[in-house]
Amino acid sequence: MSGVADQVTTRREAARANSVSAVADRWSNALQRVPLHIVIIIFCAVWIIPTIGMVVNSFRSVSEMGQAGWWTTLFPPHGFTLASYQQVLNTENVGTSIVNSVLITIPATVIQLAIATMGAYAFAWMKFPGKNIFFIVIVGLMVVPIQMTLIPVLQFFKATGLSGTITAVWLAHSGYGLPFEVFLLRNYLGGLPREVFESAEVDGAGHAVRFLRIAVPMTIPAIASLTIFVFLGVWNDLLVALTFLGTSPNRPFTVVITQLVTSFGGGWQFLTAAAVLQMALPLAVFIALQRYFVRGVTAGSVKG
Amino acid sequence: MDQIITAIGAIVLVPLVLLGYILLGERVIERLPERIQEWFRPYFWALPAIGFATIFMVYPLLRTVVISFRNNADTTWVGFDNYVYFFTFPSTLTSLRNSLLWLVFYTFFAVGLGLIIAIMVDRVRYESLAKIAIFLPVPISAVAASIIWKFMFDYQAPGTTQTGTLNALLGVVGHEPVAWLVNSTTNNAALIFVGIWSATGFAMVIISASLKAISSEVLEAARIDGANEFRIVQLIVTPLLWPTITVIGTTMIINALKTFDIVYVLTAGAYDTDVIATQMFSQLAHAHFSRAAAVGVVLFAAIVPLLVVNIRRFQQQEEQR
Amino acid sequence: MSEVFSRLSSRAIALSLGALLLVAACGGGSSNNSSSGNATSVTQWVAWGGAELQAYRDVLKPFTASTGITVHITTNRDSTNQIANGIISGTDLPDLAPSTTDPIQLKDWVTKGALKPLESFLDMSAYTSGTYPALTTAPGGAADDPYIGIIGGKHYMLMIKTQVKGLIWYNKKVFTGTAPTTFDQLLAINPSQYGAQKLFCAGFESGTASGWPASDQIDNIIMRQNDAAFYTSWIQGKVKFTDPQIKLGYQTFLKEVSAANVYGGSNTALTTNFGKAGDPMFKTPAGCLFLEQATFISAFFTQDFPGTKAGTDFDFFGHPSMGSAANDGNLNGFYDNVAMYNDTPAARKLMQYLATAPAQQIWANDGGTLGAIKTLTYTDPVFKRAAEVANTAKNLLVTAGDFMPSDMQAAFWKSLLDVTKDPSSLNAVLAHLDQVQAAAYKAS
């Protein structure tokens, strides 16, 4: 019964599509949607303009920034200058800290993902006593704030002689990141088709082979997006680096920027260039790889 | 230079070492009797992950709880002294209150706005552009975000040219400039807003993916039946999105309670904007370890309900597998 | 198929074993890094930025030229907290950095061996005879004076610069009257008589150290309302904050930052960085008549307003009396010091250099500061006067906040920001400070 009604509706609608009233209808629909557009545009403006403001400021001289807001530079005379960038790059420690950021981020990412993938495979495809308890503990650990662990971990590094080394920060980040990664990868790995593994097992492939030649290749999308996620998290981290490397020459860019804040006090203007430099890499990474990022993040949480 | 070598070494060697671990381990395990293999192998594989989790999270967690009941020099037990300090000192109480404010408002708005924006942009043609705009603050570090907003909140004396965007806008409508970060009616809200600004994109993107998974037939049927858009969102979309919203909500609550960077960089906790994480950091800096531990335990206690919820959800998921 | 697998896995195993060997081989070298322990470079943390830093670089030029040692400078105003963290966590420390001024922390760091005594590399007799005595000798010959870095008879702070605080700066073209001698006279001045909007300018913002300029202001009030012994007891935590004299100090301070007296109201005072606080004095119309600040602010003026000169365009007069002639001889002085955290040959050479008159003379010539050595010459009339003021002070008293335990200092600074923002909260704020004081001075 509804099928006929549907057909009638469609035909009638098709007949009306070209009449004047149809056009008017479409216009009024569009107008009703004007509030929608306005709201969306306002949100987009609030979300983008602050960043644009700072980027514009990074190209102005310090005295100008103290006298008028960034929007005035958009009108002539422009007064753009690279002075802030030169200042920041000439500041002691900045160059080293950027290198340190890279040296901290990449290995930390690699280490934790390697360990997490192995562990996730075990939790996903192997049965063993106490598996559930271990997994619950790991899942539970996802909510533990890092601050809870700082003091003992500090003592641990002191005892093992790793204080102030970049290695310490790799290990710390790995430890803190593992719960979430194991959780996510375990969900993903668990969703892989059982038959593929079973037929490989029948063919005589041991767990190592099944892991390396089947599980890992099939998990690449999740690993790829998780890589981006972890990479960004470590690159942008302040607390872990500040606590474990605050005084060390190995400290990364985020810590140096924060220390510059305290040193210049009112000279926030100098920091615009530093901030732009610090955000450049994550933004570039994100823009280039956004597909993987979204896909992987949703894969873990939306599933099931 | 040797730093670079160590880093490259780590990148290359760690996976290789793990590879070797797996391959060699399997070689050995396969020689063992079947029954022993069954339980030994999983522990072997999961050992690195479990080991790290234990060293960096489980043990420290327990140890911090213990420290909070001892004195600073770790020589005697002091019972609840540190907790008494926590709950009687105005500064620590303020940080607790502020963290609760963050918990409620940051979570509510980040998820709520994420939801609303996801639903709205679903209906326009420039959806991808809008989504990129909202998501853009997500990869930006909290430090950079704080600097961005420092300029937005900038304050100059009334009557002089305003350099801060917000105060300039206020000037356009003839209002006096507001010292956003100093004024106690506005400062916490300002900081929380910076957090919301950073996080909404994340919530939006995930909710949007779930939104798109909702079958369009269901929505069409509802529209034909005469339901207006708001009712559709309320009665169909939101319930279907509820699992996603819960997951995002949990993540946001955890983020809210862990907030450190934004407060530390923008106000260093001054003018009653202190949160638990900054409070703990300053206790550490003053070498009050046991008090810092107590602060940490209080934070953790606030999170325990989430822990329970998380675990229960996981167990439900497990049953469905 | 299984053969293929096993051949691949054998190769992988071989690779992994090789990798393990490599790890073991290079494992040792990574934790020693190049920054400290060098004969040719020194890492140093300083609290100076902008013009002050430039002046320090000028001081270093002859040193680097003659010794070839490079000095890697990091500007960090939060250095004490971060070094404290570093000592606790055992991370590398900079070779040279300011010492802590918290007496408890100082003793702790000396016990832990984090600070190195000057006696091990410096000619102490030359040092103590050439430097202002207040900076190098404990009063009464005591073995300990943590306020100037003397523990167990040994010195841990090398004094290189001094500042006189509590000076009232003014723009000579704006304020053309005579300097008031009492505080009441100062408050009675009508700014509009000179074409200025308000009496005072103030700027308390300084990142995580915000509030310290306010503490300077209140210190100068309290040390003139009371005698030196009372002031010192207060620093040592023996006088409560709710003590009527301290409360009086706060109330007097509030007069300096009241909406009627301070440029831009309390919001401006709280959000303006200390270095920029005096800028309104040089604008037309002038925002204010006076800025209370230490000697170093002169360099900030000349930096922000190139072409202005100390003595011709701006000058200072001493802090007016609070009504008690006996206490007028109390002067608030401060010193910049350098302490050694890593004993390296290069660091020693730098410390020895900084203790010499030629080094400090370069600083003095750059303007904006007094040296620590008595015999320096100042061409700048303002600084000549400031040096005389320092030399003739009866008691050179230190800045209170800097010598309280670090959490007391933090609460103290914060309290000044809070009362500036909300004067009606004074009693609650003082009560809270008492609470902090009770806990902070327990050497736990």
A95-149: pLDDT as tens digits: 888 888 989 999 999 999 999 998 888 888 888 777 778 877 877 787 777 877 8
With the CA atoms of A230, A235, A241 and A242 taken in that order, what torsion angle do they form, in degrees rounded to the nearest 10? -130
Which is it for the CA torsion C331, C296, A63, B149, positive or negative? negative
Q: Tens-digit pLDDT profile for chain B (321 aa)? A: 677 888 888 888 888 888 888 888 888 888 888 888 877 888 888 888 888 988 898 898 888 889 889 887 777 888 888 898 888 887 888 888 999 999 999 999 999 999 999 988 888 888 888 888 998 998 898 889 998 998 899 888 887 888 888 998 888 888 888 888 888 889 999 999 999 999 999 999 888 888 888 877 887 888 888 777 777 777 888 888 888 888 888 889 888 988 888 998 888 777 888 898 888 888 877 778 888 888 888 888 877 887 777 777 777 776 765
- Select from C16, C414, C435 the Cβ nearest to the Cβ of B17: C16
pLDDT at B210: 85
Please name the residue that has the structure tokens 């497990």. Answer: B318
Whether the pLDDT of residue A283 is over 90: the answer is no
Contact B3 C84 (CB under 8 A): no
Per-residue tokens: A221: 């999308």
Contact C77 A265 (CB under 8 A): yes
Beta strands in B176-310 (DSSP E): none
A239-248: pLDDT as tens digits: 888 888 877 7
Tell me which DSSP letter residue C145 carries. Answer: B
Contact map slice: A 10-29 vs B, CB within 8 A: none
d(CA B293, CA A149): 9
Tell me the three state secondary structure of residue C20.
helix
Q: May I ask the CATH class of domain B81-320?
A: mainly alpha
Instruction: Answer for the pair A94, A67: CB distance below 8 angstroms, yes or no.
Output: no
Give the model's confidence band at A4: pLDDT under 50 very low, under 70 low, under 90 confident, else very high: low
Tell me the three state secondary structure of residue A143.
coil
Strands C330-340 and C395-397: parallel
Nearest to C231 by CA among C436, C102, C396, C397: C397
C74-121: pLDDT as tens digits: 877 777 877 887 787 777 789 999 998 888 788 889 998 999 999 999
CATH fold, domain C10-163+337-391, is: D-Maltodextrin-Binding Protein; domain 2 (3.40.190)
Q: Looking at the complex, report in whole angstroms how far the Cα of residue C143 sits from the nearest Cα belonging to chain A.
A: 31
**How many helices and strands in chain A, by DSSP H and E?**
15, 0
pLDDT at A12: 63
Contact B213 A147 (CB under 8 A): no
pLDDT at A242: 84
Distance of CA C196 to the CA centre of its chain: 31
Q: What is the mean pLDDT of chain A?
A: 80
- Select from A118, A139, A175 the Cβ nearest to the Cβ of B311: A139
- In chain A, what percentage of residues exceed pLDDT 90? 13
pLDDT at A18: 59
Residue type, C102: D
pLDDT at C53: 81
Contact map slice: B 261-280 vs C, CB within 8 A: 264, 268, 270-271
Give alpha helix (H) positions in B32-89.
Answer: 34-53, 59-67, 81-88
C301-349: pLDDT as tens digits: 887 888 888 888 999 988 898 988 888 878 888 888 899 999 999 999 9
Size of the A and C interface in Cβ pairs below 8 Å: 111
pLDDT at A21: 63
> The domain C167-327+400-443 is classified under which CATH number: 3.10.450.50, 3.40.190.10, 3.40.1030.10, 3.30.390.10?
3.40.190.10
Whether the pLDDT of residue C6 is over 50: the answer is no
Contact A265 C273 (CB under 8 A): yes
Q: Give the ipTM.
A: 0.81
Contact C417 B270 (CB under 8 A): yes
Whether the pLDDT of residue C1 is over 50: the answer is no
Q: Looking at the complex, report in whole angstroms how far the Cα of residue A75 sits from the nearest Cα belonging to chain B.
A: 15
pLDDT average, residue stretch A153-180: 88
Please name the residue that has the structure tokens 């008031």. Answer: C180
Give the model's confidence band at C403: pLDDT under 50 very low, under 70 low, under 90 confident, else very high: confident
3-state secondary structure chain C: CHHHHHHHHHHHHHHHHHHHHHHHHHHHHHCCCCCCCCCCEEEEEECCCHHHHHHHHHHHHHHHHHHCCEEEEEECCCHHHHHHHHHHHCCCCCCEECCCCCHHHHHHHHHHCCCECHHHCCCHHHHHHHECHHHHCCHHHCCCEHHHCEECCEECCEEEEEEECCEEEEECCCCCCCCCCEHHHHHHCCHHHHCEEEEEECCCEECECCCHHHHHHHHHHHHHHCCHHHHHHHHCCCCCCCCHHHHHHHHHHHHHCCCCCECCHHHHHHHCEHHHCCHHHHCCCEEEEEEEECCCHHHHHHHHCCCCCECCCEEEECCCECCCHHHHHEEEEEEEEEEECCCCHHHHHHHHHHCCHHHHHHHHHHCCCEECECCCCCCCHHHHHHHHHHHHCCEEECCCHHHCCHHHHHHHHHHHHHHHHCHHHHHHHHHHHHHHHHHHCCCC
Q: What is the mean pLDDT of chain C?
A: 83
pLDDT average, residue stretch C429-439: 90
A59-75: pLDDT as tens digits: 888 777 777 788 887 77
Nearest to A159 by CA among B52, C90, C24: C90
Contact C12 B23 (CB under 8 A): yes
Contact B179 C270 (CB under 8 A): yes
Tell me the three state secondary structure of residue B215.
coil
Count of residues in chain C: 444
Q: Looking at the complex, report in whole angstroms how far the Cα of residue A101 sits from the nearest Cα belonging to chain C.
A: 16
Mutation target among A247, A261, A270 for the C interface, most CBs of C within 10 A: A247
Sorted by where each begins, the domain ranges of chain C are 10-163+337-391, 167-327+400-443
Coarse DSSP helix, strand, coil percentages of chain A, rounded to the nearest 5 percent: 80, 0, 20
Sorted by where each begins, the domain ranges of chain B are 2-67, 81-320
Mutation target among A12, A72, A115 for the B interface, most CBs of B within 10 A: A115
Contact map slice: B 21-40 vs C, CB within 8 A: 21, 23-24, 27
A17-51: pLDDT as tens digits: 556 666 766 666 666 678 888 999 999 999 999 99
